[in-house]
Structure 1
Amino acid sequence: MLNMNSLLQWSIFILFCQLVSSNKDSMTCGSTFKLVNQQSGDRLHSHDVKYGSGSGQQSVTGTPNADDVNSYWQVRGDIRNDCERGTPIKCDSVVRLFHVTTRRNLHSHNYQSPLSNNQEVSAYGEDGVGDEGDRWKVVCTTKNDYWLRADPVRLQHVVTGKYLHLSGDTYGRPIQGQKEISCYSHANRQNLWKVDAGVYIRPSTEPLSSTRDDNSNSRSQSATTDRFEDEL
């Protein structure tokens, strides 16, 4: 029969294992990934195409193309309180999303979006330097303490309180077929997002791991992550 000391040790060990398991599955600061809208299946996307109205800043859209490199975003800490690389991100944390290709931040402000007349979402700043409009709160939809990769979340714009949203309205030229991304005041399935393919930084000293969204033969894990880090 186990004595009290043994029971205490086992309890601590089990709790430690649960925490490690949870952190391994959580989103971490510095991870780079695609975000998929849970209503439409489109990926959050940007490119060097400016809005023809509103702010005139770089447009942010939803694309059905799973292979487009312009759909990669890197999660970074709050402009007021940056986070260390590999730190698990807690629910209700404030983060920034950095567009890898154009090096601008996911942004919103009090301009109308061009199609739905919701609140415009753009990509803003230079080399990741932006302003208060780049701050997004991670709103978890489960009872977990951390933003887990398997769980859909909402991203709430801190300044205006509205949610990152895919309206379903479709653009014509020059970005024909892409969907409007806006901010919307009410929580619904159109503003649920889930992470997809990317490079995920493991907590502590664990190496990077990657997932792929194509069926090609992948190279070794270390080669893939090294190449991706060079691009960042």
Structure 2
Amino acid sequence: MDSATPDPLALDVRRIAAISLDLDDTLWPIWPTIERAERALHAWLSREAPKTAALLLTPGMLSELREATAKERSDLAHDLSALRRESIRTALRRGGEDPALADPAFEIFFAERQRVTLYDDVLPALKWLSERYPLVAISNGNADVHLTGVGRWFRAAFNARAFGSGKPHAPIFRAAAASVGLLPKDVLHVGDDAALDVVGALDAGMQAAWLVRDERPWEHGARPQLIVPNLHALCVALDTA
């Protein structure tokens, strides 16, 4: 997949007056970031709550706590920060230590979570795109565009926690378009998640580009107007269409 792949629906570049972008796994790989943040959290717990730190070394314990918290606190499904904080609180309780430590522990995790390593194509592409279109970030995660160092390229940023709901539901896409004075039909959304980004954006009335940095088949009904392997290919497609 070395170049942009147009769908028979065909990307209508003339309609595009703004671009919305997903963050995690679109601008940077998320799992190396999360793993580094979890290591920083564990190092802090080893000093401040050693019994909890020892508990979390049990294979599968961290994922078990996350899953249990997500099930118990389904009201927080759109708020990954709150879910993470509550899973830390549960771990502290199980370890017999002060659950109030969950708040400073989460701050350690959150600060490290913002230290992302951008894909090589991202900064040149954001510069090129932002010179031609207003850019809006739309994320279900808890990255902050300003703390991650990409905020200067974006006119606005939406995340599920602050907005109250996330992708694939239409309201967050509509709000992103409205933030730059547009209707969804005037916006191209770009993201890596086929269901959350592409199908969600299409259902909201946007055009969609699927950014897929690995080889994965398309497994949904409605198709994106464009498939690209990276943001450089997106820029090429927009420049030559």
TM over 0.5: no
Task: Decide which structure has greater strand share.
Answer: 1
Q: Could you state the TM-score of these two structures normalised by the residue count of structure 1?
A: 0.25
Q: Could you state the TM-score of these two structures normalised by the residue count of structure 2?
A: 0.24
Task: Decide which structure has greater helix share.
Answer: 2
